């Protein structure tokens, strides 16, 4: 049986390339990587000390669902190979079963592509202070959790574990990638978000915002990488409970963020331990998001 909780994978037969905030990445060869989605959870760009049971498997399944659902817009990184293709040891396969994917090796772009459809989180704080959202001027009088007049592309830098992502303007992406690629990135990001948001709304979920990551393959083609519209990378609200002028309940790690905001913690490592009730409730929220979006039992 695969372990219920996997904070850190240990695959001895492959060299470890990187341990990220959530994913452990192993080198198979110069064209292939093994990506293991663990049960680690990060908040405020700090990895928390307690795993969320089953979280990695939920993220892995939900990403696969969205990659298939939105396959017509952009190729993704997955190779569709079984673990047996690279891991001969049954114990190693069992350790990461349901949590691992073999992917094409690509060069990640140095920006996270964020789509925002609602005024919430750091965007709401920014708007209250400046009247802007990530440098984009908005009309006056908007309330917390109001829908934006149109979805916005608000990129950020990509932080390593322990560092903080930083919002940047569109021109920073132009400077880093060139105008053609920056405009393509914005167009694809907003297209993926709009199609996913329409689907999710029919399933009773509002996707308030989400982040995407992209890379270039050996041919220089743009590829969708990492994860796809998961509770880690998105803000999911139950449509039946959505009310503007408040922070709606959510099926994502905002629940953890809200709990951590009640503590005397400066949002730098080490992060505090989580109570069992908070861990269990977070796991339940992740499972519920998957159930509503995919119909999984």
Name which residue leads in pLDDT, 167 or 212.
212
Q: What is the pLDDT of residue 91?
A: 96
What is the DSSP code (8-state) at residue 78? B
What is the DSSP code (8-state) at residue 297? -
93-150 pLDDT, tens digit per residue, is 999 999 999 999 999 999 999 999 999 999 999 999 999 998 999 999 999 999 999 9
CA–CA distance, 180 with 33 (Å, rounded to integer): 29
- The verdict on domain 108-251+272-278 having CATH code 3.30.450.20 is no
CA–CA distance, 120 with 247 (Å, rounded to integer): 7
Tokens 């880093």 -> residue: 176
Length of the chain: 297
- What average pLDDT does this structure show over 254-266? 93
Concatenated DSSP letters of 80-142: ---GGGT---HHHHHHHTTTEEEEE--EE-SEEEEEEEE--THHHHHHHHHSEETTEE--TT-
Q: What is the pLDDT of residue 29?
A: 97
Which of 25-29, 39-43, 66-70, 254-258 has the lowest average pLDDT? 254-258
Asked if 117 and 200 touch (Cβ cutoff 8 Å), the reply is no
pTM (predicted TM-score): 0.94
Give the three-state DSSP class for 149. strand
Q: What is the pLDDT of residue 165?
A: 73
Q: How confident is the model at residue 276 (pLDDT cuts 50, 70, 90)?
A: very high
Backbone angles phi, psi at 296, to 5 degrees: -65, 145
Compute the mean pLDDT over every residue in the chain, rounded to the nearest whole number. Answer: 94
CA distances from 149 to 35, 127, 243, 275 (A): 37, 14, 17, 39
Tokens 């990187």 -> residue: 18
Helices 55-69 and 276-294 meet at what angle, rounded to 10?
A: 20
Q: Do domains 16-105 and 108-251+272-278 have the same CATH topology?
A: no
Where in the chain are the domains? 16-105, 108-251+272-278
Half-sphere exposure of 118 (CA within 13 A, CB side): 23
187-228 pLDDT, tens digit per residue, is 999 999 999 999 999 999 999 999 999 999 999 999 999 999
pLDDT tops 80 at residue 162: no
- What average pLDDT does this structure show over 51-55? 97
pLDDT tops 90 at residue 297: no
Q: Which residues contact 208 (CB under 8 A, 6 or more apart)?
A: 116, 117, 118, 120, 145, 234, 235, 236, 237, 248
What is the CA 198 to chain-centroid distance, rounded?
19
Q: How confident is the model at residue 164 (pLDDT cuts 50, 70, 90)?
A: low
Q: Is 262 exposed, middle or buried (0-12, 13-18, 19+ CB in 10 A)?
A: exposed
Query: Domain 16-105 adopts which CATH fold?
Result: Phosphorylase Kinase; domain 1 (3.30.200)
Asked if 253 and 278 touch (Cβ cutoff 8 Å), the reply is no
């Amino acid at each position: 049986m695969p372990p219920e909780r996997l904070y850190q994978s240990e695959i001895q037969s492959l060299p470890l390339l990187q341990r990220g905030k959530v994913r452990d990445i192993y080198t198979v060869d110069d064209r292939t990587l093994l990506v293991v989605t663990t049960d680690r959870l990060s908040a405020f760009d700090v990895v928390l000390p307690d795993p969320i049971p089953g979280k990695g498997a939920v993220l892995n399944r939900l990403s696969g669902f969205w990659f298939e659902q939105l396959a017509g817009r952009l190729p993704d990184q997955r190779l569709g190979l079984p673990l047996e293709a690279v891991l001969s040891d049954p114990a190693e396969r069992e350790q990461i079963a349901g949590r691992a994917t073999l992917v094409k090796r690509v060069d990640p772009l140095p920006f996270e592509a964020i789509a925002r459809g609602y005024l919430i989180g750091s965007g709401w704080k920014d708007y209250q202070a400046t009247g802007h959202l990530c440098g984009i001027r908005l009309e006056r009088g908007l309330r917390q959790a109001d829908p934006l007049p149109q979805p916005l592309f608000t990129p950020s830098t990509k932080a390593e574990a322990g560092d903080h992502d930083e919002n940047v303007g569109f021109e920073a992406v132009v400077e880093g990638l060139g105008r053609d690629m920056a405009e393509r990135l914005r167009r694809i990001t907003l297209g993926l978000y709009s199609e996913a948001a329409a689907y999710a709304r029919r399933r009773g979920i509002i996707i308030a915002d989400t982040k995407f990551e992209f890379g270039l393959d050996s041919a220089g083609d743009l590829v969708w990488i990492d994860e796809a519209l998961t509770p880690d990378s998105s803000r999911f609200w139950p449509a039946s409970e959505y009310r503007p002028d408040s922070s709606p309940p959510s099926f994502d790690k905002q629940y953890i963020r809200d709990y951590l905001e009640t503590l005397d913690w400066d949002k730098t490592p080490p992060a505090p331990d989580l109570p069992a009730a908070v861990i269990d409730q977070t796991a339940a929220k992740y499972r519920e998001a998957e159930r509503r979006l995919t119909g999984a039992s």
